Amino acid sequence: MRFSWQNTFLLPCVCVLVSLGACGQSAKERREWRPEDHQPPPAVAPEGQGAGEGTGDPTVRAAAALWSMRCAPCHGEGGRGDGRNKPPGAPVPNFTSAAFHEARSDAQLGEVISKGRGLMPPFEADITDTGIAALIAHIRTLRGE
C-alpha cells in the first residue's frame, strides 16, 4: 500500500470524526416529567395554554403547555387537525370529535404518542409516561359535543 499526503491527512481526520461521534452516543438520560417543566409565566402564556389557570391545577396547565409545544404544530391548538405544520395531505385526527374519543382508549392514545404512527414521530424518548398521561388527559378535554 502506498501512502501519499492524502492518506496521511485523511486518517487523522477520520479518527477525529469517529471520536467526536462517539462522544455524542451516550445514552440520553430521562428524568420524570413534572408540571413545572412546562409552566410559562402567566403574563406571556400563549393562547391555548391557560386551560389550568381556572382550576389552579399545575398539571393541567403544564399539559396544555406541553400540547402547545409538541402537538399543536400539527394537531392545532384546539385539536381539530389544522396545525400550521401539518404535512400536506396527512390524515390528522380531529380530537374535538366525540366519535374519535369513543373509539379510542387512553392506552391506545398512549401507544400512538409513545410509538408514533404514520407521519407522527414517536415521543417515548422525549416525554416520560407521566407526561404522556398528562397529554392524554389534555386530549380528552378537547372533546366537543
C-alpha cell at 9: 491527512
Contacting residues for 123 by C-beta, under 8 A, at least 6 apart:
70, 113, 114, 116, 132
Provide the residue ranges of all domains of the chain, joining segments of one domain with +.
48-145
Instruction: Quick: pLDDT tens for 66-81.
Output: 999 999 999 999 999 9
CA distances from 118 to 20, 33, 90 (A): 33, 26, 9
Q: What is the pLDDT of residue 5?
A: 45
Instruction: Say whether pLDDT at 112 is over 60.
Output: yes
Contacting residues for 58 by C-beta, under 8 A, at least 6 apart:
35, 36, 39, 52
Instruction: Say whether pLDDT at 136 is over 90.
Output: yes
Report the C-alpha gap between 53 and 50 in whole angstroms.
Answer: 5
Displacement of CA 50 from its chain's centroid (Å) = 19
Displacement of CA 138 from its chain's centroid (Å) = 14
Superfamily covering domain 48-145: Cytochrome c-like domain (1.10.760.10)
The burial class, CB within 10 Å (0-12 / 13-18 / 19+), for 34 is middle
Instruction: Say whether pLDDT at 144 is over 60.
Output: yes
Report the C-alpha gap between 30 and 132 in whole angstroms.
Answer: 14
Instruction: Say whether pLDDT at 138 is over 90.
Output: yes
DSSP-derived 3-state class of residue 29: coil
**Mean pLDDT over the full length of the chain:** 77
